[in-house]
Structure 1
Amino acid sequence: MPSSQGNTPDDYRTLIRQMAQGQETALVEFYRIFEQKIYAFAKIRLNDSQEASDLLHEVMWEVWRSAGRFEGRSSVSTWVFGIAHHKVIDRIRQANKHKTETLEGIHATESEEDLEALLTQKQMGEHIRWCIEMLSDDQRQVVHLAFYEGLPYREISKIVDSPEGTVKARMFHAKQALKRCMSRRLK
């Protein structure tokens, strides 16, 4: 069984093969590896922790059910994020509304300097989150996949089922919009 430290694409493919054979322990390991990434991806799109958690479970159930049909034409990460992408779109269509994300509270610190630094960091984070929320769904999605998941444009294009050039254009326009938004918010 692959360990969570230093997992490789071959480890992921091994887990998929094991799931296709009905090995539940492979699903447990796979879930542990991808849980935070899929959850974060869903949360950024759905703006709701409970919805993101529900969607995570749906994605993992689909991975379990579909493991035997994985053909290996893309990376396992691309395949899983593709499943998540389609489930997010289905949820958005069903709900036809967006919920706002609640911000975490500030934790107490030992010194006034620590508190001031934490507040400054939190305020900057709030500005960034607010500006990201102002992006279109398509732009928000490519920003998340590129910056938070570290995926290359080629993989993002497969996940969102759009040409790589379209992904690059969305990213360019998203960066421009974020720059404008941040400069307005920080004045």
Structure 2
Amino acid sequence: MDAGGGVRRRAREDDGSLLARVAQGDTTALNEIYARYGGPLFSFLFRLSGDRGTAEEILQDTLLAVWRSAGSFQKRSSVSTWLFGVARRQAHNRLRGVPPPVAAEPYDDLDPMPGPEELAVSGDRVQAALVRLPLPQREVVVLAFLNDLSHQEIAEVLGIPVGTVKSRLHHARATLRGCLDERMA
């Protein structure tokens, strides 16, 4: 548009600058954050809650929390890791002490081409087994296999040591294996 980049610069704006604009009250920047991360955050929240409606509500709570706390982002992690941390806190606030409901179908239009991990975990048997995991194990599985976060990134999102991430993944795999073996018998 203009010689300085104008609209084109904003179209390619990095996440940190976008979050700084959110902190200044720019709703367009919040919409861009939603456009970039709404799908992955919804998927994460759906897998934690097991219910589409609950996941939608938590996503709304997450965006409100991002709006209110964007100025507290200190660049100690990536924006995406920080966003998953905000979403996780909102999910814990909502789900604390509430058993997960029976799994529903996630949005069909969020990601038109789901990856192999999403296809593998989206099956009814696997989803039913996933919602039976304790929340700490479920969130590690979802972050690792559906959101493709590294052990270090998961540790940052959850505020736990990397060793704890590995331990939770190990126990979650064993539990999932047992649930799936039980259902196949």
* TM-score for both structures, normalised by structure 1: 0.79
- Identify the range of structure 1 (69-78 vs 19-28) with the bigger mean alpha-carbon deviation: 19-28
The gaps in structure 2 that reach 5 residues or longer are 1-9, 107-118
Residue 131 of structure 1 corresponds to which residue in structure 2? 129
CA deviations over 1:61-120 (Å, ceiling 9, x no partner): 111221222110111111111111111111122x6343212248xxxxxxxxxxxxxxxx
Structure 1 gaps, min length 5? 4-9, 105-120
Q: How does 1:1-187 map to 2 (within 5 A)?
A: 1-2=10-11, 11-93=14-96, 96-103=98-105, 125-187=123-185
- Secondary structure of 1:168 counterpart: helix
- Cα deviation, 1:27-66, whole Å, max 9, x if unaligned, reads 1111111111111111111222112111111111111221
Q: In 1, distance between residues paired with 2:145 and 2:80?
A: 15
Q: Aligned residue pairs: how many?
A: 163
Secondary structure of the residue aligned to 1:101 is coil
Identity percentage over the alignment?
A: 34
Q: Does the 8 Å CA contact 2:50/2:102 hold for their aligned counterparts? A: yes
> Counterparts of 1:82 and 1:137 in 2: how far apart (Å)?
14
TM-score (norm 2): 0.79
Q: Distance in 2 between matches of 1:84 and 1:97?
A: 18
Provide the C-alpha distance between the structure 2 equivalents of 1:51 and 1:132, rounded to a whole number of angstroms. 16
Write the letter of the residue equivalent to 1:77. Answer: S
Does the CA-based 8 Å contact 2:42-2:55 persist in structure 1? yes
Q: Distance in 2 between matches of 1:50 and 1:133?
A: 15
Q: Which amino acid aligns with 2:11?
A: P
Distance in 1, Cα, partners of 2:123 & 2:131: 12
Number of the residue aligned with 2:111:
none
- Structure 2 counterpart SS, 1:55: helix
Question: Structure 1 CA distance, aligned partners of 2:81 and 2:151?
Answer: 11
Aligned residue identity for 1:13: G
Change (3 A) 1:64 1:103: closer
